[in-house]
Amino acid sequence: MLKTAAEERQAWILERVREQGFASIEQLATRFDVTQQTIRRIVNRLCEQGLLRRIHGGVGLPAPNQNLAYESRQVLNLDAKRRIAGAAAAFIPDGASLMIGLGTTPECVALALGHRKGLHVITNSLNAAAAFARNADVDITMAGGTLRRHDRDVIGDSAVSFFSRFKADFGIFGVGGIDDDGSLLDFHAGEVEARHAIAANCRTALLVVDHSKFGRNATVRGGHLGDHPHVFTDQPVSAAFVDLFDGATRTLHVAGA
């Protein structure tokens, strides 16, 4: 589907701010040959969605200790996430048991698997569970505990204890960001703990991340990109990240357009 001019401007602004950390209203108005008032309307919408935050004279990235609203993340890079989901789903055979973690990309994988047969799904995400709920041929086991209403998931000790009671064929999870040194980053310690519990209790771990996560900042570190045997993304990554997969036991899967 073709993007409108407004959507193209928004996508360009988001990419520019992710690359440089800041963009001034004056620079953006010059880039698009529009008035500063027009640019302010665009960036105000992006800020309202939690994708950017206003800084004096321009816009910057959201605070590193705060993730975007879930509804905003669901539509951000959606085509990329769907391609990743298709590639990851093709990797999963019918009849498999799988743990699915929190986040919008694992949710997309769940949606891509929603019609499959004989799966046993173990998850701490209501969004992932809902993707399978109408398929009577899929067994769903949900984590108990305190629900995070905005993200519709369960984290912390409840999730760790839950996942430790199972051994699944596959574990599917995402991350908030990947630092330049390959460190995996999230916004809450409980998110890291849940992700580690999935990786520790599955036979094959699948990390699913769109291109925007490479180099994205977050405050809680847990694990390393090179720890996981299969990483699914939507675009070729830089040579520095590719070097982390220079081994027979690790594979970087780049989903085609």
pLDDT at residue number 257? 59
Q: What is the DSSP letter of 101?
A: -
Domains 5-62 and 72-254 share a fold: no
What does the domain layout of the chain look like in residue ranges?
Answer: 5-62, 72-254
* Residues 72-254, CATH architecture: 3-Layer(aba) Sandwich (3.40)
Question: Can you give the pTM of this predicted structure?
Answer: 0.79
> Averaged over 24-37, what is the pLDDT?
92
CA-nearest of 57, 6, 53 to 34 is: 6
Q: Does residue 184 register a pLDDT over 60?
A: yes
Q: Which residue has the higher pLDDT, 18 or 90?
A: 90
- For 50, the token pair is 């939690």
Helix 36-48 × helix 5-20 angle, to 10°: 80
Confidence class for position 201, pLDDT limits 50, 70, 90: very high
- Domain 5-62, CATH number (from 1.10.3720.10, 1.10.10.10, 3.40.50.2300, 3.40.50.300): 1.10.10.10
Q: Which helix (H) or strand (E) holds 129?
A: helix 126-132
d(CA 59, CA 22): 6
Share of the chain above pLDDT 70, in %: 95
Confidence class for position 1, pLDDT limits 50, 70, 90: very low
φ, ψ (nearest 5 deg) of residue 75:
-100, -10
d(CA 214, CA 167): 29
d(CA 178, CA 176): 7
Confidence class for position 64, pLDDT limits 50, 70, 90: low
Checking phi first, is residue 242 left (phi over 0); if not, alpha (psi -120 to 50) or beta? alpha
Q: What is the DSSP letter of 227?
A: G
CA-nearest of 190, 191, 237 to 212 is: 237
> Averaged over 175-204, what is the pLDDT?
94
pLDDT at residue number 210? 93
> Averaged over 225-232, what is the pLDDT?
92
CA-nearest of 55, 57, 59 to 9 is: 59
